[in-house]
C-alpha cells in the first residue's frame, strides 16, 4: 500500500504572508489540524499546525483586552509560526515507511511532494483508517487471537485448517509475540463454526489466547 493510495490530494494550504487569525479560521472551516504553507510560486516552504498557533496565542488570562489581543494576532504572520522546511515524502513510498517517519519524528502529518510540487498530505488519521481495515475492525465474524511459534510454515497450517472448515478469512494480522520465539496472530473468520475453529487451532498445537464474535 503506497502513500499515493491513501493521501488526501489537493490539500488545503495557506500563504506565508497571511495573519495567523486567518490560518486558524481556515483550519476550523476545513476541519484540518495542519496546513502546508506555500510561497507565491506555490512552492512548499513550511507547515503550520493548530497547536503551533494555539501555543502562540496569548492566554485569555493576560491583561490584554480582546481588542488588543486580536490586533496582536492579526499582526503575526504564518511565516513566523510555521515549521520551515518540513519533512516531506514522495507519493510512492510505502504507507508504513510514512508511518515510521511520523512515529520517529513525533509528527502527525507529512506533506507529499512530487517534482517540487505539493501533491497531497498524509496524516496519522489516514493511517489509522488503514489500520482499522487491516484488522477488519468494521466487519462481523469470529475473531481469534493465537499465540504461534515463530517457525516456517505456521501461517500455511493455520490458513489451510481454516479453509478446510469452509471458513473465509476476512482479515489477518501478525504482531510481535511476548518473546522472539512466538508471534501473535489475529484472524477474523466467517462461515465456519467457532467451536470447530478453536478445536482445529488447538489440534495444531496453537494457544488460543482470545476468541470472540464481533
Partner 1 sequence: MLVIERMSRPPITIVGEATVEEALSILAEKKQRHLPVVDADENLVGIVSEKDLLRAKGDDAIEKVMTQDVITVTEYTALEDAARIMADHKISSLPVMRDGRLVGIITETDLFKIFLELLGAREEGVRLTMLVPEEKGILASLTREIAQMGGNIVALSTFRGEDPTNRMVTVKVADAPTDKLVAIMEALGMEIVDVRGG
The footprint of partner 1 (CB under 8 A) covers: 1-2, 50-51, 54-55, 57, 59-61, 94-97, 99-100, 102-103, 124-125, 127-138, 143, 145, 151-156, 158-160, 162-163, 166-176, 184, 186, 191, 210, 212, 214
Residue (3 or 37) nearer to partner 1, CB = 3
Taking the C-alpha atoms of residue 79 and residue 38, their distance in angstroms, rounded to an integer, is 10
- Other Cβ atoms within 10 Å of 208 Cβ, number: 14
Min CB(90)–partner 1 separation in Å: 14
Residues in Cβ contact with 133 at an 8 Å cutoff, skipping those fewer than 6 apart: 171
Min CB(119)–partner 1 separation in Å: 19
Taking the C-alpha atoms of residue 212 and residue 214, their distance in angstroms, rounded to an integer, is 6
Min CB(214)–partner 1 separation in Å: 7
DSSP 58-94: PPTTSS--HHHHHHHHHHSBHHHHSEES---B-TTSB
Residue (55 or 67) nearer to partner 1, CB = 55
Residue (1 or 87) nearer to partner 1, CB = 1
DSSP letter (8 states) at residue 145: E
Min CB(45)–partner 1 separation in Å: 25
Min CB(206)–partner 1 separation in Å: 14
Min CB(175)–partner 1 separation in Å: 5
Taking the C-alpha atoms of residue 174 and residue 177, their distance in angstroms, rounded to an integer, is 9
Residue (38 or 50) nearer to partner 1, CB = 50
Q: How many CA atoms lie within 13 A of 178 on its CB side?
A: 5
Residue (40 or 153) nearer to partner 1, CB = 153
Residue (86 or 136) nearer to partner 1, CB = 136
Cβ atoms of residues 192 and 142 within 8 Å = yes
Largest separation between any pair of C-alpha atoms in the chain: 74
Amino acid at each position: 500500500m503506497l502513500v499515493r493510495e491513501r493521501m488526501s490530494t489537493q490539500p488545503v494550504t495557506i500563504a506565508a504572508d497571511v495573519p495567523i487569525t486567518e490560518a486558524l479560521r481556515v483550519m476550523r472551516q476545513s476541519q484540518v489540524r495542519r496546513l502546508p504553507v506555500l510561497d507565491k510560486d506555490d512552492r512548499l516552504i513550511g507547515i503550520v499546525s493548530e497547536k503551533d498557533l494555539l501555543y502562540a496565542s496569548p492566554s485569555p488570562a493576560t491583561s490584554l483586552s480582546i481588542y488588543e489581543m486580536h490586533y496582536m494576532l492579526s499582526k503575526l504572520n504564518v511565516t513566523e509560526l510555521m515549521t520551515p522546511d518540513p519533512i516531506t515524502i514522495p507519493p510512492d513510498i510505502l504507507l508504513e515507511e510514512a508511518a515510521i517517519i511520523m512515529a520517529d519524528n513525533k509528527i502527525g502529518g507529512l506533506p507529499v511532494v512530487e517534482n517540487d510540487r505539493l501533491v497531497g498530505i498524509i496524516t496519522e488519521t489516514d493511517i489509522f483508517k488503514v489500520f482499522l481495515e487491516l484488522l477488519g475492525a468494521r466487519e462481523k465474524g469470529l475473531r481469534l487471537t493465537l499465540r504461534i511459534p515463530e517457525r516456517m510454515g505456521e501461517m500455511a497450517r493455520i490458513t489451510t485448517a481454516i479453509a478446510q472448515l469452509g471458513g473465509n478469512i476476512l482479515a489477518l494480522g501478525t504482531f510481535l509475540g511476548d518473546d522472539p520465539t512466538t508471534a501473535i496472530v489475529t484472524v477474523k473468520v466467517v462461515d465456519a463454526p467457532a467451536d470447530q475453529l478453536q478445536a482445529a487451532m488447538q489440534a495444531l498445537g496453537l494457544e488460543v489466547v482470545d476468541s470472540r464474535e464481533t
